[in-house]
Amino acid sequence: LTEESRNPWLRVLKKMGDGVLVCDREGRARWMNEILQQKLELAGSRELPTLLATFPRTPEAPEGPLHELEEAVLQALDGGRSVQKEIKVRIGRGRKKYFEITVVPIRKAAPFFGDGGRDDGLLGCAAVFRDVSTIKAAEKVRRDFVANVSHELRTPLSVLKGYTETLLAGALEDPAVSREFLEIVDRHAVRLSQLVEDLLDLSRLESADYQLDLFSVPLKPLLDRVATMVTDNLASKHIA
């Protein structure tokens, strides 16, 4: 008989869509399914036996790539109850992945541990991994977008305020100057309107039923508008 036929729970763990790691009562990693190997980019790699052998931390590796997971495992084993937390795992050269994990103590005999166990019946624990790296990336895009929009709003608002104050201070009496200033104010008011539309577009893009409308855009008018905005901004700061 194969290992899977002897243990139906192993078949279930292997077929789960989430990553699964099983540890013994000392917190040592004993087994992980293929999904988790793929998530940690260990599938078919010699790193897997090394990872299993050195987890948890050792004097030679005081803070391994899964040190946050180790802390959750030890909390579950010491407290005897499930632990849920978000962890960050270093993958490869400086890359990071984020997981929401649930670590559950195992108190019933299982083939991973043999017949041994502590007096309290605690034999080990199982950790289930949900990859939330894509969600984290989307949150970062949103934060960056809000930061960029805030910066973009500051420029036209500053220009509007500056030219309005100049007009109220007396430039309004000069028809040529006042018309030039009002045209600049109008351009920046249009820019503010476009930024508001960008925010509304972001909200629409997050809708599941939103359909993109792709079309060609002439590049020169776009560059001309950018050049005008930059020129106005430099002029408001008296930069030649």
pLDDT value at residue 59: 47
Buried b (16+ CB within 10 A) or exposed e, 35-67: bbbebbebeeeeebeebbebbbeeeeeeebbbb
**Partners of 23 in the beta sheet?**
29, 125
Helix (H, G, I), strand (E, B) or coil at 188: helix
Instruction: Look up residue 45 and give its DSSP letter.
Output: -
pTM attached to this predicted model: 0.57
- Structure confidence by residue, pLDDT tens digits, 73-99: 888 888 888 899 988 877 767 678 889
Q: How far apart are the first and last CA of the chain?
A: 83
Instruction: Look up residue 83 and give its DSSP letter.
Output: E
pLDDT value at residue 129: 92
Please give the structure tokens belonging to residue 123. 């034999």
| 110 CB burial (10 A radius; 0-12, 13-18, 19+) | middle
Peptide bond into 111 cis (omega under 30): no
pLDDT value at residue 236: 65
Query: Crossing angle for the helix pair 133-168 and 219-236, nearest 10 degrees?
Result: 60
pLDDT value at residue 52: 54
DSSP string, 139-181: HHHHHHHHHHHHHHHHHHHHHHHHHHHHHHTTGGGSHHHHHHH
Query: Crossing angle for the helix pair 175-205 and 133-168, nearest 10 degrees?
Result: 160
pLDDT tens string for the chain (240 positions)?
345 555 666 777 777 888 888 888 888 888 888 888 888 777 555 455 555 554 544 444 445 556 778 888 888 888 888 899 988 877 767 678 889 999 999 886 555 555 554 556 788 888 999 999 888 888 888 888 778 877 878 888 888 888 888 888 888 788 888 888 888 888 888 888 888 887 787 777 777 777 778 888 889 988 988 888 788 767 766 776
Q: 17's torsion region: left (phi>0), alpha (psi -120 to 50) or beta?
A: alpha
Please give the backbone phi and psi of residue 217, each rounded to the nearest 5 degrees, phi first.
-125, 125
